[in-house]
């Protein structure tokens, strides 16, 4: 089963909920004004997401200093040299450049960031292509439940509103996203 929709007619959260309710696996592509995003579904859960506007996971890991530029390059070379297409995250794990728990946490956060970004898109095309998603194709084998992602997107949106419209304490926002406790100095 595949489908095409327009964002004004069907919101991104609506699309995510439909795919989740039907427990589908495959690739959701969203295109708007020359910018693209991709969400991988496995059994109705989100297993991976990327967007031109939020950066690729490898770049995010370098920016957060979880891996080095050199480590990213090594993983990219391994990924390109393989006979089958595997995610960069699998290459990072194979090379021992990141702990599995850290990669899973960062992948979950990245999924939320991509979905939060998509939530703001006001126009565009949505395409879904059903496809079998094998375990080797994703880091989060079970994926993240759509409702959990949407709850985190809403928390992130509230956090951004709070951070931009309220005072700060010790330089830290009052309500952090992703359920983390606010650091105290």
Domain membership of residue 140 (yes or no) is: yes
Domain assignment present for residue 42? The answer is: yes
Q: How many domains does the chain have?
A: 1
- Segments forming the whole domain that contains residue 111: 2-165
Condensed to tens digits (0 to 9), the pLDDT of residues 66-88 reads: 999 999 999 999 988 876 667 88
Strand 2-6, strand 26-32: pairing: unpaired
Domain assignment present for residue 172? The answer is no
**Residue 66 pLDDT:** 95
- Give the global pTM: 0.78
**Residue tagged 């985190």 (tokens):** 152
Q: Is residue 44 part of a domain?
A: yes
Please check whether residue 148 lies inside any domain of the structure. Answer: yes
- 175 belongs to a structural domain: no
Question: Is 139 inside a domain boundary?
Answer: yes
In this prediction, residue 74 carries a pLDDT of: 94
* Distance set, CA 28 to CA 46, 121, 127 (Å): 10, 15, 6
Q: Which 3 state secondary structure label does DSSP give 55? A: strand
Beta strand pairing call for 35-42 and 26-32: antiparallel
Mean pLDDT of 21-25: 95
pLDDT in tens, 85-136: 678 888 899 899 999 999 999 999 999 999 999 988 888 999 999 998 877 7
Residue 146 and residue 165: Cα distance in Å, rounded?
Answer: 29
Does residue 184 form part of some domain?
no
Question: Residue 1: which residues within 8 A CB-CB, separation 6 or more?
Answer: 24, 128, 130
The predicted pLDDT at position 83 comes to: 62
């Amino acid at each position: 089963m595949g489908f095409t929709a327009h964002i004004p007619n069907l919101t991104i959260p609506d699309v995510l909920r439909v795919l989740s309710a039907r427990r589908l696996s495959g690739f959701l592509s969203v295109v708007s004004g020359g910018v693209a995003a991709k969400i991988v579904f496995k059994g109705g859960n989100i297993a991976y997401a990327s967007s031109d506007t939020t950066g690729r996971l490898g770049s995010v890991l370098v920016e957060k200093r979880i891996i080095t530029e050199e480590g990213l390059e090594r993983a990219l070379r391994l990924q390109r040299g393989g006979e089958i297409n595997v995610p960069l995250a699998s290459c990072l794990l194979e090379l021992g450049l990141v702990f599995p728990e850290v990669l899973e946490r960062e992948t979950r956060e990245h999924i939320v960031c991509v979905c939060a970004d998509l939530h703001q898109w006001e126009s565009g095309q949505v395409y879904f292509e059903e496809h079998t998603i094998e375990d080797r194709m994703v880091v989060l084998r079970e994926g993240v439940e759509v409702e959990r992602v949407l709850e985190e997107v809403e928390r992130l949106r509230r956090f951004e509103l709070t951070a931009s419209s309220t005072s700060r304490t010790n330089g830290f926002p009052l309500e952090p996203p992703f359920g983390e406790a606010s650091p105290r100095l």
